[in-house]
Structure 1
Amino acid sequence: MSRASQARRIAVAAAYGGGAVGAAGMILLGVLVGEARLARRTVGEPTTEPPVADGLYGPERACSGAGPDPITLALLGDSGAAGFGVDRPAETPGALLAAGLSEVADRPVRLVNTAKVGARSADLLGQVTAALEHSPDLAVIMIGANDVTHRVRPVNSVRQLSEAVRRLRADGVEVVVGTCPDLGTIEPIAQPLRLVARRWSRAMAAAQTIAVVKAGARSVSLGDLLGPEFAAQPRVMFSADRFHPSASGYARVASVVLPSMAAALGLGPADRARPALETEEGVSSLAAAAVQAVEEPGTEVSGTEVGGQETGPRGRWVVLEHRIRRFTRRPAGPQVEQPVR
């Protein structure tokens, strides 16, 4: 079975409530979990909470109420979204994304982070409920790693993510999802089981992409985004536990997610409205795009139309884009604290 077929099968099963992981797959996943437990002993259980970075970001005059109304950004997901592994609020992905979006939009941005360390896809609906209390304009979700290491069936994880996205979209919230990272880049997981971790996390990411785009959102592949940098500079890109990103690692993640956030809100010269497409050139079927995105970290997948139609012989039409925005400076901390955790 091709990877595109596997991703499509998981996504379809999630949509229709069926599907099961084969016996051989469960054995492999069980072995992965055993190795993950050994890795967790090496990493250690979290003993602290990530820094709280909720609040207003942007020029001081704008944040004082003299400028336009702020954009409200909600961040949901697991420890990667919460910013575990860094010491200062300004180093968290939430602060980086809020400050970056404020710069692109030339407006203040209010950050509301409902992400939790250890969260799985099943926890997303509760986080969505908390986020919707703040009427967000845009939500960013980063989830999936804990589902893989805790033996959650991919069809269940993908269904739960899809439900969260659809609930946000039903409230008019734009959504960008950073898909499951490649666990094969995590050093405390030993070989050859690291290859199993890579296989399962990439399958999860591809299935997430299909479900997310069908639900009306954009996906951004995180994949092994930190892999090459980790191999070259392990003490720079990852935090002390060798599991969670460092401040530099989070900046790398934010640099590929931010352009898709701007695009979702129609901001920035690089994110101008796409021209109407009359042919298939430059677009792809969703399943094929999902697999390609996993292989190329930082790739955005979003729906499009060809000749006025959303679907073709191979299913949903999508566009793949690879964009990055480098951060030239660290953001200041939030000017107004609004902790929600």
Structure 2
Amino acid sequence: MNDHVLRTVQRLSLLLLPVLVPQILRVKKRTPRLSEAAGAVGGVPGAEPALRLLVVGDSMAAGVGVPHHSAGLAGRLADRWAAETGRSVSWQVVARGGATAESTARKLAKGPVASPDLVIVVVGINDLLRYRGLRNWRRDLEVLIATVRDRLGTAPPLVFCGLPPVGRFPALPQPLRAALGLRAQRMDRALRACAAANGAFCVPLPADAMADEPRVFFAADRFHPSARGYAEIADGFLAVTRDALRTSGARRPLGS
């Protein structure tokens, strides 16, 4: 579906706001509140020098859905890289539930962050649920990219996680699922365009796995990934992060 059609359908969906708003409130009320994962700093042993990961963003970056980051995105990706390279991999997670692109930039601007070799950014779902305008969304992403590079320099590559295929989320009723799904597609296109224009990377989420095996892919809240879900997502990140690190390797040795 091209962007013009998406935009038109999206505008028509706004007519459903009297139905959508109560659905959003009911979903928030009924969805179980899961804790963020423990172990925001950790690693996988191996040869030195270590590959250093920084994972920032919202509740998925914060590992909601699993008890410890070793089973979340940071830990699963560290496992993949340690297995592929034989090197040790460390991670630091700077994330919280409910975070937006704008609030993530503010948090990074203020808090201490270790110098990484690779930055993973997970934002968007809360901007979607708050109906952040696309123009503001693009500006927030540009500010976030600029903030990361101001804090860390241009050497560590940035890899964004794409918007989830909300149109397939089992926790969302219709027509809310369809309306948010269409908007998520537009936001995802804007994210990919912004990342490409700023020399960053973007990884799509495994939509088929989410839709075909929701009982194993999602945690108890049917909204955040389970341990199996995070493993699937990490698999999708591996090839893109490999390209990203290869690009940065021309600028500096890893772990330097």
Do Structure 1 and Structure 2 share a fold, with TM-score over 0.5? Answer: yes
Instruction: Give the C-alpha shift of residue 215 in structure 1.
Output: 1.0
Map Cα deviations across residues 259-290 of structure 1 (whole Å, 9 max, x no partner): 211111119xxxx99xxxxxxxxxxxxxxxxx
Tell me the CA shift for residue 44 of structure 1: 3.2
How far apart, CA to CA, are the structure 1 residues paired with 2:122 and 2:19? 25
3-state SS in 1 of match to 2:116: coil
| Counterpart residue number, 2:78 | 98
- CA positional deviation for 1:72: 1.6
User: Identity of paired residues, percent?
Assistant: 29
CA contact (8 A) 1:42 1:188 kept: no
In structure 2, the partner of 1:41 is 29
1:25, distance to aligned residue in structure 2 (A):
5.8
Contact persistence 1:51–1:92 (CA under 8 A): no
Unaligned 5+ runs, structure 2: 251-256
When Rg is computed on C-alpha atoms for both structures, the one with the higher figure is 1
CA contact (8 A) 2:109 2:147 kept: no
Task: Measure, in 2, the Cα distance between the counterparts of 1:182 and 1:30.
Answer: 23
Question: For residue 241 of structure 1, what is the aligned residue in structure 2?
Answer: 221
TM-score (norm 2): 0.84
Matched, 1:3 2:3: yes
Quote how far apart the aligned CAs of 1:24 are. Answer: 4.8
Cα 1:78/1:6, change in 2 over 3 Å: same
Residue 179 (structure 1) aligns with = 162
Match of 1:308 in 2: none
Task: Give RMSD over aligned pairs.
Answer: 2.8
Q: Find the counterpart in structure 2 of residue 196 from structure 1.
A: 179
2:127 is the counterpart of 1:142: no
Specify the code of the residue in structure 2 equivalent to 1:219.
C
Counterparts of 1:29 and 1:93 in 2: how far apart (Å)? 34
Unaligned runs of 5+ in 1: 8-21, 63-67, 274-341
CA contact 2:41–2:90 (8 Å) conserved in 1: yes
Contact 1:50 1:84 in 2 (8 A): yes
- Distance in structure 2 (CA, Å) of the matches to 1:193 and 1:218: 29
SS of 2:49's partner is: coil
Conserved in 1, the CA contact under 8 Å of 2:169 and 2:211?
no
1:154-200 Cα shifts (integer Å, max 9, x gaps): 22122212221233345122011111111112222112221111101
Q: Match for 1:108 among 75, 84, 88?
A: 88
Residue 52 of structure 1, CA deviation: 2.1
Q: Conserved in 2, the CA contact under 8 Å of 1:174 and 1:217?
A: yes
Task: Provide TM-score, normalisation by structure 1.
Answer: 0.64
Q: Which residue of 2 aligns with 1:57?
A: 44
Deviation at 1:105, TM superposition (A): 3.3
Alignment length (residue pairs): 244
Greater alpha carbon shift after TM alignment, 256-265 vs 49-58 = 49-58
What is the rounded CA distance, in whole Å, between the counterparts of 2:68 and 2:165 in structure 1? Answer: 26
Deviates more, 1:116-125 or 1:155-164: 155-164
Q: What SS class does the counterpart of residue 81 from structure 1 fall into?
A: coil
User: What is the rounded CA distance, in whole Å, between the counterparts of 2:99 and 2:17 in structure 1?
Assistant: 19
- CA distance in structure 2 between the aligned counterparts of 1:79 and 1:131, rounded to whole angstroms: 18
Q: Secondary structure at the match of 2:246?
A: coil
1:31 Cα deviation (Å)? 4.7
1:227 and 1:58, CA in 2 relative to 1: closer, same or farther beyond 3 A? same
Aligned residue in 2 for 1:208:
191
AA aligned to 1:164 is L
1:30 positional shift: 6.8
Structure with the largest fraction of helix: 2
For 1:122-161, what aligned pairs fall within 5 Å after superposition? Answer: 122-129=102-109, 133-161=113-141
Q: For residues 112 and 188 of structure 1, what CA distance do their matches in structure 2 show?
A: 30
Distance 1:29 1:182, change over 3 A: farther
Q: Say which SS state the counterpart of residue 70 (structure 1) adopts.
A: strand
Between the aligned partners of 1:30 and 1:164, the Cα distance in structure 2 is 33
Q: What's 2:253 paired with? A: none
Aligned with 1:110: secondary structure?
strand
Which amino acid letter does the alignment assign opposite residue 126 of structure 1? R
